[in-house]
Amino acid sequence: MPRITDTDLARMRAELLFSGPDAGRKLSRFWVLLVLSAIIATAGIISDSTATVIGAMIVAPLMTPILGTVLSVVIGDRRNLVRSLALVATGSVAVIAVAWLIGQLIPVEIVSDTSSQVAGRVHPRLIDLVAAIATGAVGAFALVRSDVSDTLPGVAIAISLVPPLAVVGLTLESGAGEQAAGALLLFVTNVAAILLSGLVVMAIYRVATTATDSAGASGRGRYGAIPVVVIFVLVLAIPLTISSRTITTEARDRVGAEAAATTWAEAAGWRILTVDSDIGGIHVRASGALPAPRPSALRRALDAHGLRGVDATVELVPEERVELPGS
C-alpha cells in the first residue's frame, strides 16, 4: 500500500493548515483572494460571462480550508479542525454578503431567467455529486502527490465553490429564495464531496499512520469520520435525486409539448414562440393572425403526446397587419 513520507506530511500541513509562525500571512492571503474571487464571480454572473466565472474559480481559495478540515480530522488536530471549519463557514458567508451587496447596485434582478450562469447552478442534480466526488479525489490526490500538483487549476475549475455562493447572494437579493436554496445545495454538495474524497484518498495513503509515527504527532487518526461523511453525502443524494428526476420529467414533457404545440399552431397558420415546462405544468406561447386556434385542440394534442395528466396554459398573441401605403 502507498504511504506518504514525513516530508509529504509537513508539506501538506504547510499548504493546508492556518497555523504556525506565518499563520497571519496565510489568513491575509486567504481573505484577500476570497473577497476578490467573490467580486470576480459576481461580476461574471451578472454579465453572464463564463470566462470571468472561470477566472474566479481559479482565484478562489476555499478549497484550502476544506482540505485542511480533512487533514485535521485524519491527524486528529482539533485546533486546526475548528479553525478550518470556521474559515469555510465565515468565508462562505462573506462571499454571499459580497454578492448580495453588489446585487444592490444592479437595477435588474439576477435570476435564472436573466442569467445562464444562475440557471446552471440553481438546479443541482445527482450527477453533480458524482462529478464533485471524482473531482475532489483528484484534488486530494494532487495534494498527497506533489508530482501531480499541476492538475490543481483544473480541479479549481471543475469543482465550483465560490460561484454557487455568489449565486446565493444575488438570488437572495432578487427575492428568489428557492433558487438561492438550490445554489446553496450545490455548494454543500461540492463541499461534502471534497470531504469524502479527501478522507478516502488520505486513508489509502495512510496519512494517519505517518502522523502517528512522526515526532510530536497526535497519533489519533480519525478515519471514523468517514462513515459520518458518507451518511451526510447519502442524505444530500436524496434532494439531488429528486431534483434530477424533476429536471428529467420537465425536459421530457417539454419535448412532447413542443411537438404537440407546433402541430396545433401550424394547422391554424400560427407559430410557437416559447414552450416551457416546470413544476406548474406546460406553458405555451403562440402568435399569429386571427382567428386564433382553439385551446381545446391543443389540449387534445397534448393528451395524444402522453401529457394527459399535465396541466397546461396557453398564451395567444394575435398579430394584426395594417397596410400603410405611401402618398
Spatial strand order of the sheet with 271-278 comes to: 271-278, 281-289, 312-319
Are residues 157 and 272 in contact, defined by beta-carbon separation less than 8 angstroms? Answer: no
Tens-binned pLDDT, residue by residue, of the chain (327 aa): 577 788 888 888 888 899 888 889 999 999 999 999 999 999 999 999 999 999 999 888 999 999 999 998 888 888 999 999 999 999 999 999 999 999 999 998 999 888 899 988 998 988 889 988 988 888 888 888 877 665 566 666 667 899 999 999 999 999 999 999 999 999 999 999 999 998 988 888 888 888 877 645 444 445 567 788 888 888 988 998 988 888 888 888 889 999 999 999 999 899 999 998 877 788 999 999 888 899 999 999 999 888 888 899 999 998 877 788 876
Residue 40 class from Cβ within 10 Å (0-12 exposed, 13-18 middle, 19+ buried)?
buried
> pTM for the complete prediction?
0.81
3-state secondary structure of 107: coil
Pair type for strands 271-278 and 281-289: antiparallel
Neighbouring residues of 210: CB distance < 8 A, sequence distance ≥ 6:
3, 4, 5, 6, 8, 9
Tell me how far CA of residue 189 lies from CA of 99, 229, 276, in angstroms.
20, 11, 28
Are residues 272 and 285 in contact, defined by beta-carbon separation less than 8 angstroms? Answer: yes
Rg (CA), the chain: 26
pLDDT in the model for residue 217: 46
pLDDT in the model for residue 233: 87
pLDDT in the model for residue 88: 95
Q: What is the CB neighbour count within 10 angstroms for residue 283?
A: 17
Cis omega (within 30 of 0) for bond into 325: no
Length of the chain: 327
Residue found under cell 467573490: 38
The domain 250-319 having CATH identifier 3.30.70: the answer here is: yes
Tell me the C-alpha distance between 271 and 287, whole Å: 6
Q: What is the CB neighbour count within 10 angstroms for residue 51?
A: 8
Are residues 122 and 17 in contact, defined by beta-carbon separation less than 8 angstroms? Answer: no
Tell me the C-alpha distance between 170 and 97, whole Å: 9
Question: What are the extents of the domains in the chain?
Answer: 6-223, 250-319
pLDDT in the model for residue 78: 87
